[in-house]
Amino acid sequence: MIEHPRIANGWFRELSDDHFPGQALMLKVEEVLHHSKSEFQDILLFKSAEYGNVLVLDGIIQCTERDEFAYQEMISHVPLYSHKNPKKILVIGGGDGGVIREVVKHSCVESVTLVEIDRTVIELSEKYLPKMSSAFNHPKVDVKLCDGFKFLKETAGLNSVEKYDVIITDSSDPDGPAEAFFQKEYFQLIFNALKKDGIMIAQASENIWLDLNYLKNLMKTSRSIFKNTQYCYTMVPTYTSGQLGLIVCSKDETIDITVPQRKPDIKEQGLLRYYNPDIHSASFVLPTWANTIINVE
């Protein structure tokens, strides 16, 4: 078995006092499939005993074959079904391919641009996560290998004709190459790159059980740019605390993004395992103590 500092006695340990103080997550390892350091991050893939193949970046689990759909579907379909007619989509990050797999399920979508900084993540996902990476060769998908922050600055600025209906930020946590995706300037770049009724979503890196004050400040940052900002979440067993927060914003201040503006038809719903119109709305409902901190000014 390939040696890795996060694996001991056959168990992978996600242990980070910076990200998740006072707690950890462990998965039993059957086989280490790959370990390397790309230009940007430490990349580990292993086959687990219960969750299939697992992708780990800089020591943090990004996805597993067993539960990845819970994240991919919610970060994709919440904004897409909140928009009345999404045609042009931008995905920042998401080198595992899970988000674009979900986006192309919408027949109304005409083009999807995926911006990923790390080619190695794409290549390894195609090899070890084939069900997630199945849409890379889809005719509607265009892959750009560059920094997402730089891409927005150069090709989708305030005066650019490149405007999107929906922008999905599927980044890793706010360290290393993903740090810029959680700053006020990034929200402003997203705002400029969206059409007048455009919607964005971003993984919040945290949930209500981890760092509630961080979420409060992130929501405040977002609302300084997008007046119409809401917080929802998805349940993913292999994310610390079993939950991950998502920030959803619309340039249209009149739209209620907690309610789907479109609903999946029978064919589309048949392709979905987690998302449905009821869970769309329910995911925005928070426990009283958390709602008071996040949503009450």
Q: How many other C-beta atoms lie within 10 A of the C-beta of residue 164?
A: 23
Element (H, E) at 25: strand 24-37
Residue the block writes with tokens 């689990």: 61
Q: Which residues contact 291 (CB under 8 A, 6 or more apart)?
A: none
Return the percent helix, strand and coil in the chain, to nearest 5.
30, 30, 40
Does the annotation count 170 as an active-site position?
Answer: yes
Q: Are 101 and 135 in contact (CB under 8 A)?
A: yes
Q: Please tell me the number of Cα atoms within 13 Å of 139 on its side-chain side.
A: 2
Report how far residue 62's alpha carbon sits from residue 58's, in angstroms, rounded to the nearest whole number.
Answer: 10
Question: Cβ neighbours of residue 112 under 8 Å, at least 6 residues apart?
Answer: 89, 90, 91, 100, 103, 104, 138, 140, 141, 142
Q: Which of 96, 118, 147, 170 is catalytic?
A: 170
- Rounded CA-CA distance 233/210 in Å is 13
Catalytic positions are 170
